[in-house]
Amino acid sequence: MKEDAAQLLPVEVLAFGPHPDDVELGCGGTLAKLVRQGLKVGIADLTRGEMGSRGSVPERTREAREAAEIIGASFRTNLEIPDAQIDNTPENREKIIALLRRTRPMLVFLPYRYDRHPDHAHASQLISEACFYSGVAKICPALGQPFRPRRLIYYQISYELPACFYVDISEFFETKLKAVRAHRSQFHNPDYPGEETFISSPEYFEAIEFRARSYGWKVGVRYAEPFWVREPLLIDDLLSALKSNKM
């Protein structure tokens, strides 16, 4: 997995997280599945999570690197936007535009626009706008040739979203859990010092499996992740797309 920004290469899929660990929670199983299917996947964290109640920046950097390797990402990079200050500014949009034009992903995963953490909602708006402006030739021409992803796919973190589709991650659920557990400073870990937080409680970690089982039950598989998209989905092969769905 590449970490040097100078070595970032084109990928088919790019997943953005407001903080290290958000991507793992929202779409970690799906990303691992896409890697297994032969797609190149990149991960971009907007912040270093420096305002979090637990974990130092060096700790979280190591944890993020390990989690990305578990998923099989081609690279993981950090845009170093100040934590708790994910503002929709030209400067922050330019950081995302530069990455998009360099890596040119067909699919972009990003957090759903409504969530418990304000950073998640702010990040959703920032990334959505940057993806659009990245395709406008007269915006930041010095950052490279214009490029716009084919589809934005919104993932869930805390609040439930009105899912447009689910991805079967049954075969990759343990990979998802392993990637989440790599963030030892953040999630339930009796050996880690510090006060318990919302996400470090044992109940929160149990809910990761509970929710994945619940979504899987809705579509007739063991574990699933939900996603929302703004635009209608075109299905070419109706039978292949729907034959395994639960009625």
Residues 8-26 pLDDT 10s:
899 999 999 999 999 999 9
User: What is the pTM for the complete model shown?
Assistant: 0.95
Is 236 a domain residue?
A: yes
Residues 37-95 pLDDT 10s:
999 999 999 999 888 878 789 999 999 999 999 999 999 999 999 998 999 999 999 99
Is 197 a domain residue?
A: yes
Question: What is the distance between the alpha carbons of residues 85 and 123, in angstroms, rounded to a whole number?
Answer: 10
Check which CATH number belongs to the domain holding 218 and give it.
Answer: 3.40.50.10320
Range of the domain at 145: 8-242
Is 156 a domain residue?
A: yes
Is 92 a domain residue?
A: yes
* Average pLDDT of span 202-225: 94
Q: How many domains does the chain contain in total?
A: 1
